Structure 1
């Protein structure tokens, strides 16, 4: 802080020599004149003194019979004096300041926090529908209105906060991550009721009905699309005749057992990239979609990978500008033909098979039995897998209004 104050006020670096330079420094101290960065020997000293104090030492110099010479001029007053006659420099400073002030009035970056089920692309698409995109004026929208709109547009969002940090729009949300959130959202689509039908062919292991009328029993074989739980509930008269049908969203747990086939292959012949070590690098400056490369590379490699690194220009940690600076590195490679041995090819196939099993288990599928067979041919190795699995086998199918109307008419007749 002291250094900044001295720079703003201006100071000079002087040399003092003569009959009694030590007496010169003592008199300066008696008159509260501050000297710093003091160096010297054999009657020759250098030191710094503020610009205002420099004009107070004339009588001290006369009394001590010393000679003072200015070695350097430092500080803002001297800088302004130097640039006063440089009109183009002052114009550049003015235009640069005006550019920064203008660019700071727009949104040039977006940051999302707290989203798990909702992707950033969905949030950006919603903001674009509301007229908010890169380059939108900062005061174009109301944060309170946008927060309310986010909660209404996405049922998963229970809390939203929108704020501006410089030129960056920060959207923080909190989602309802209860397991039945997605199910509630899907059920809300069926206003006229829905049936629960089989998602695949298999055998019914168990059925638990929460709403609707069950159409199958454990041990029954079903095909894809067959009715499992009906969403049409008959309302009967006293004589057991159907008076009308009520439409509900059928709901329940139907466990189906089915076979899941896996077919994987791994050719023995493959290619890999052998990097030669030859590289070409170039810097670039990007403003929006415009990218300027320097120096330009006139001739690329026949086969190459491009590695790009870039950073957004951010001033004072707050002003994110649509200006990117970075570098591109072109790495030459040659394709090399190679062959897997049998053990390596088997390992690749088994790793892929394990990934499929892990993905099924992550979805809640229970694997009852596994049967794997590896077949070796002249140029390819194949894996034939058969899994016996149990899964939730019901999906909703909306009731058609015409079918409901026909049933109502039949019941009345």
Structure 2
């Protein structure tokens, strides 16, 4: 903060040379003249001092024969002198302040909080048409208490409303009444949570319903985990009433998921053997050949490459190359397929992580064969296994859990 006070007081950066500078600074210190940022370089001293102190050093300069030169002027006094002859800048600053004050005195934004039944568009239209409150209205024309009362009278479903202004925003906060329609309320159906796959329970949170398993139990697919029907017993410990409450909870289990996928090698490469050559020398209509095609019997597959070189007008040299080959799976292609398999496996792992599934073990291996690439193995995961259903499992139906006459609609 010290530099702010120095800037407000204004100071100079001076260059001192020659004379007795040590005596000069002693005289300044004796008179209480403050100097800072002092440096000495090849007999030249630089320092900073306040503007009002600068006028006091004249007698010291004469006594010590020190030559003083001003290098830099800083501070409010010099800044005001800079602005003194720039009327356009002053007018622009004044105009900005006036414009800022003018715009700050208006409402430029309407915000609504707590509304769900009444939309922002409907409330904005009401304020504009009925209350005359729109974008750009003066703040002084908005009566918050009157607006709150009118909103409660116009919209009877609003139980509480508050109107306040923050900056250039008019903020309307409200609470709407929740209507309860008993006649239209549907009967709650029992809902069961069953296991979606085999595993071992590691975590279980039951929010409603009756849990049928605990942490550490081994479960099978389709097994009932949380019962959505609560049984009330009488004094004789028999079921007096079954109340459907709906099952709700989070069940996490340690499961093993097998993974197997085959990627066939769709491309083949050619394994070439040693080439046989044939050379033909032609002059006009006459020609002579050296070598032959040893694969004319048709039992060997080969490539035939012919090239003709014009050595002189009428003189030609033709070369024929016969290269036998066999088709084999391309290892380069298999490498690309392996990369595709690794990428797909990485995507599956990333998908597990996005769903919050914890991967304990990744036992998937990628194997390369002559004609295919296989990704085989399994994952050991911790994942949610609860699956909600409105139909109880078969064993639950047999024992009659939750199937009372009251739930079935028979009140006799």
User: Same fold per TM (> 0.5)?
Assistant: no
When Rg is computed on C-alpha atoms for both structures, the one with the higher figure is 2
> TM-score normalised by the shorter chain: which range applies?
0.3 to 0.5
